[in-house]
């Protein structure tokens, strides 16, 4: 089977949705002919590679560029994500290599709303099916009217129900992101820090993480809070840490390569995850794969069937978080027990397993489309 993945920003962003696209593509490439069409990224970047995958990079306007932000601020209509996808589809149409790859595909796989809108229409005109592996949660009547995707795939059962109820999308399949197998083999070597990994914005519980750490830090003088990620909420977190007189104990690493994040899971005493909303909780799942205990908010879609292995608490009840975190930090045996249970559950949630599930959907879609 010849599969073409579309990921406008995979080569330039390399995180979040981009990790999902690259990981699925790489694992499918073990058994199929896989092409990835993506934006070219910065000129200073090395050529972007995904193991076993034919990567085609085309010129595009990334959502983080000044041109994209200026167009949005002027029009309030041209979303940076729309500009990113539109520039990718135009460049793909002008590239003979990309046009040939699309024409020779048995199926096209998209993973963002605007990529789906544009490339599903290309697939339809070429008489091939397309699937939209939905990572986000915001759609409307215009999307439903214009999108030509053959099949929708949700990333969790919660997302499937939500998208069906709110937007009337007909979703037949669920394929959840996975974790790198490498996590399962990492040795636990605890160091004196608590970990927070997220895009730094209020909905991720950024201020809650600072305040919870402040409450427990007085009991553990050597303990640090290590924060991985970047975003508009970083300055606010730094000010809050300064206000609470714990700035010297909080380490901001910014956005670091995903491979490096995995090692931090193996060394952290626990992961704090006070997020208020999640489409799919990949960070807690990765931490569990490394045997790292997880204390997380009880948002509806967080556990995804994890049988209550993470310690789940209401995001607004800070006193409960302080009690749970303090207990884990005080009791080594409890940390080991919770970490081991999480790792055993995560063994079934690898990218290899996810790729087989995705493969079944792709094959079924091709077969039904051709029938």
Mention every residue, 6+ apart, whose C-beta is less than 8 A from residue 319. none
pLDDT > 70? residue 236:
yes
Residue pair 227/286 in contact (Cβ under 8 Å)? The answer is no
Compute the average pLDDT of residues 60-64.
Answer: 77
Q: How far apart are CA 205 and CA 314, in angstroms?
A: 11
Domain ranges of the chain: 2-178+351-370, 182-346
Query: Can you read off the two tokens belonging to residue 37?
Result: 């069409």
pLDDT at 144: 79
44 pLDDT band, cuts 50/70/90, is very low
For the segment(s) 182-346, the CATH number from 3.40.50.2000, 2.40.50.1070, 3.40.50.2300, 1.10.510.10 is 3.40.50.2000
Within the chain, where are the H helices? Answer: 10-13, 17-28, 66-75, 80-94, 96-103, 113-125, 141-146, 157-167, 181-184, 206-217, 234-243, 258-267, 282-289, 318-330, 332-346, 351-370
Domains 2-178+351-370 and 182-346 share a fold: yes
Homologous superfamily in CATH for domain 2-178+351-370: Glycogen Phosphorylase B; (3.40.50.2000)
- Tens of pLDDT along 191-217? 999 999 999 999 999 999 999 999 999
Please, are residues 103 and 123 in contact by the beta-carbon 8 Å criterion? no
List, for residues 241-294, the tens digit of each pLDDT value. 999 999 999 999 998 988 899 999 999 999 999 998 877 888 999 999 999 999
Three-state DSSP class for residue 315: coil
pLDDT in tens, 135-183: 876 777 778 788 999 999 999 888 888 888 888 888 999 999 999 999 9
């Amino acid at each position: 089977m010849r599969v073409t993945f579309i990921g406008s920003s995979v080569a330039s962003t390399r995180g979040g949705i981009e990790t999902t696209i690259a990981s699925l593509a790489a694992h499918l490439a073990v058994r199929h002919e896989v092409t990835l069409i993506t934006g070219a990224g910065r000129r200073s970047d090395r050529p972007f590679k995904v193991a076993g995958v034919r990567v085609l990079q085309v010129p595009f306007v990334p959502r983080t560029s000044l041109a994209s932000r200026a167009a949005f601020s002027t029009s309030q209509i041209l979303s940076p994500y729309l500009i990113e996808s539109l520039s990718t589809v135009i460049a793909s149409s002008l590239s003979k290599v990309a046009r040939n790859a699309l024409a020779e595909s048995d199926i096209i796989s998209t993973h963002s709303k605007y990529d789906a809108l544009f490339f599903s229409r290309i697939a339809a005109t070429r008489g091939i099916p397309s699937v939209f592996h939905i990572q986000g949660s915001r759609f409307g009547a215009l999307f439903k009217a214009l999108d030509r995707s053959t099949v929708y795939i949700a990333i969790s059962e919660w997302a499937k129900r939500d998208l069906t109820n709110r937007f009337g999308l007909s979703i037949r399949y669920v394929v959840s992101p996975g974790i790198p197998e490498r996590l399962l083999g990492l040795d636990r070597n605890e160091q004196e820090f608590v970990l927070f990994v997220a895009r730094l914005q209020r909905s991720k519980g950024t201020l809650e993480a600072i305040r919870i750490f402040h409450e427990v830090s007085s009991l553990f003088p050597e303990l640090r809070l290590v924060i991985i990620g970047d975003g508009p909420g970083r300055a606010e977190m730094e000010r809050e840490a300064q206000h609470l007189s714990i700035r010297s104990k909080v380490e901001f690493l910014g956005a670091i390569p995903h491979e490096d994040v995995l090692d931090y899971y193996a060394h952290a005493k626990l992961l704090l995850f006070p997020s208020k909303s999640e489409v799919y909780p990949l960070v807690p799942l990765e931490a569990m794969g490394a045997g790292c205990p997880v204390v997380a908010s009880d948002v509806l879609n967080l556990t995804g069937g994890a049988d209550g292995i993470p310690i789940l608490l209401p995001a607004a009840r800070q006193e409960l978080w302080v009690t749970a975190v303090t207990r884990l930090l005080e009791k080594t045996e409890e940390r080991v027990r919770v970490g081991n249970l999480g790792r055993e559950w995560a063994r079934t949630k690898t990218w290899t397993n996810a790729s087989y599930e995705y493969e079944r959907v792709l094959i079924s879609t091709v077969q039904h489309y051709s029938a």
